[in-house]
Amino acid sequence: MTVYLGNAGNIELIRDSGDTISGTITPSNVNTGKNMFSFDFKQGALITGDFIEFSSTSVLSFISGWTLTKSNAFINVDEAGGLRLYTSYTAAVANTSGARIALATPGASIDINCKIINSVPRVLGHIIRFELSTDREAIDTSSLGDEFRNQYSTLITGNGSVDCVFDYTSPGNVEIAVYLHNLLLRQQFGSDFKAKFYILTEGQAQGANASNDAVWFEVTGIMTNAAIQCVAGDIIESRFTFVTTGEIALRVQTVTSDELLLNPGGDRMVLSTADGDILELGEEIA
């Protein structure tokens, strides 16, 4: 029997997407010297690192040299609500001044829609531990005269917690604790997120087939609590609790996707590994 250690686990976090806010950019809202702009959005609605689609019925002329009505960019949001645009997540969270997208003063006010279109999974950094619990509700269906209680299983729910070291600057292309703190405080869009909780990640030296094995849960959740612990002489830690919404899926991988080959064999499609260890017959080809 193989014993697995927790140091093989991690969390891949996907920022929620699909939410839209509207506003107006006036010429006075654009600072071309700092390549910074703002508009009338509620503080906390946008978070540094968000990938945003800007759209309008007119040309987005506040972006230098731009001639289209749509544009996508990563954003950096300062404490005063100023926005800076970047082509990469890493540059946005680091607020790299030399990597900012150049802006221009528009000739007139521009009505814009900002849609959050985050879809890229990123590892949550500095995790200490996480816990995911799944429950299935039961309804009592016992009748008068029954000698034993009868139960009927119904809906599945989940909840959990994540403990990590507090950080507010991103060490590369990873998510950090300050984003989850901001996520809970984001009132306009809510605190939804998607995540993969890895118990075992591919390439970790555990198990008989260590180069291929991976085990993880896929969930969509809502952040319900964010706490921070600050003790003199100790590491500052953050603790987050959440509930799941929608499907909870447990995935087990023993063969990587790049090892799977589709080979035509007669009138059937054969699914096999590169070394031929696994053969599965697929549907007949008409």
Q: How far is CA 162 from the centre of its chain?
A: 14
pLDDT for 1 equals 67
Any idea which residue has 């001639």 for tokens?
Answer: 67
Q: What are 101-131's pLDDT values in tens digits?
A: 999 999 999 999 998 887 788 899 889 999 9
Q: What are 262-280's pLDDT values in tens digits?
A: 555 555 555 555 555 544 4
- Using alpha carbons, select from 120, 123, 121 the residue that is nearest to residue 174: 123
pLDDT of residue 133 exceeding 70: yes
pLDDT for 9 equals 85
Distances (CA, A) of 121 to 75, 115, 173, 186, 195: 17, 18, 10, 20, 8
Maximum Cα–Cα distance across the chain: 82
In 3-state terms the chain splits into helix, strand, coil percentages (rounded to 5) of 10, 45, 45
> Rounded CA gap, 110 and 149, in Å?
66
Confidence label for 282 from pLDDT (cuts 50, 70 and 90): very low
| H/E segment holding residue 180 | helix 177-185
Q: What are 64-78's pLDDT values in tens digits?
A: 999 999 999 999 999
